[in-house]
Chain A
Amino acid sequence: EAQVTQNPRYLITVTGKKLTVTCSQNMNHEYMSWYRQDPGLGLRQIYYSMNVEVTDKGDVPEGYKVSRKEKRNFPLILESPSPNQTSLYFCASSLTGQNYGYTFGSGTRLTVV
C-alpha cells in the first residue's frame, strides 16, 4: 500500500531532551516536507526536501533540523525541544511537487512539558 509512515503517533517529552520523528514513504517520491498544525494558525511548513541531500527552510524552521540521506526517509529532529513546539506534526511527500498533490502521514502529536 502506497503510504507515508510517521512514528511515533504520540509523544510526550521534557524540555531539552533531543528527539527524532521519523518519516518514510514507499512511493519513490522526490519531494518531502514537514508541517506543524496549531489551532487558529493552520498548517505551517517547517522544512522541505526536493531530493536526496537537498533541503530548504519553510516558514517556521527555527528549533528544527532535517536530513535527507535516502530518498524514502526524511526525519525531523528537535535538538532541544521547548513547550512552544507542542503541536501536531505532519510529514508529506509528492512525486514532483509541481502539479502533483502531496500524500500526508497520519501525524505525530507532540507534547513538550
Chain B
Amino acid sequence: RKEVEQDPGPFNVPEGATVAFNCTYSNSASQSFFWYRQDCRKEPKLLMSVYSSGNEDGRFTAQLNRASQYISLLIRDSKLSDSATYLCVVNRKKSWGKLQFGAGTQVVVTP
C-alpha cells in the first residue's frame, strides 16, 4: 500500500462550482501536511499547509482528519486557472527531510 494515496481524477468542474477531494496517508506518525499544485510538468508550488484545526486561504480550504488519516482540499468558485494537478504531501517527525508525495489529483475546470 502506498504511504500517500490520492484519487487521480480527473475531476471535471464547471467554472464557478465547488470541488473537493481527499488524500489518505498510512503512517500515523505523520506530522506535517501540505497541498501543492503542479501545472503540466512544471515545478510543484506550495498551495497551503494543512493545520490540525483546518485552515482557509481565499477560495481554498484544507482540513485534516487524524482519526481517519486523511486530508482534504476544497476549492470554491472554481476558476479556469485552477486547472492543475494537486499534490498531497506528508512529512514525519524524526525524518523532516523525507517527504512523501501523493501521485496527484487532476482538476479540470471547464467554461
Contacts and interface: CB of A to CB of B under 8 A. Distances in A.
Interface of A: 31, 33, 35, 37, 40-45, 48-50, 56, 58, 88, 90, 96-99, 101-107
A23 B98 CA distance: 18
Describe A's contact surface by its main secondary structure. strand
Contacts of A44: 101
Interface residues of B, number: 22
A97 B96 contact: yes
B44 interface: yes
B8 to A, nearest CB: 9
Describe B's contact surface by its main secondary structure. strand
A104 B96 contact: no
Interface of B: 31-32, 34, 36, 41-46, 49, 87, 89, 91, 96-99, 101-104
B44 A104 contact: yes
